[in-house]
């Protein structure tokens, strides 16, 4: 998103819900505006010796776009983000 969400509600929806339901990015997508320090978080979890299951969820309104390439583009973005994350954490 271009700017931080201001106010309690936006378009009748709790403001923070917009980010959580329609504006998540894949790991390490800084060029698209990602700002969460995902690799730092993963390193902290690894340092805590967690060895259970992991999952990643992405809810982004771009998944609803029309076109034959949408699924492939998102698959490539997901794999690229995970590859970058693994490189940053385990290198």
Which residue ranges make up each domain of the chain? 9-90
Percent of the chain with pLDDT over 90: 42
For 20-37, the pLDDT digits (tens) are: 777 788 899 988 888 888
Q: Which residues fall within 8 angstroms of residue 15, CB to CB, at 6 or more apart?
A: 5, 6, 7, 8, 9
pTM, entire model: 0.71
How far is it, in rounded angstroms, from Cα 75 to Cα 40? 24
Residue 56: its pLDDT value, please?
79
């Amino acid at each position: 998103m271009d700017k931080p969400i201001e106010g309690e509600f936006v378009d009748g929806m709790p403001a923070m819900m917009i980010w959580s339901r329609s504006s998540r990015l894949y790991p390490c997508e800084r060029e698209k505006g990602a700002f969460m320090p995902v690799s730092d978080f993963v390193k902290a979890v690894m340092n805590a010796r967690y060895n259970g299951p992991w999952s990643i969820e992405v809810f982004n309104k771009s998944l609803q776009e029309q076109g034959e390439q949408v699924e492939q583009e998102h698959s490539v973005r997901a794999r690229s983000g995970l590859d970058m994350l693994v490189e940053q954490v385990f290198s």
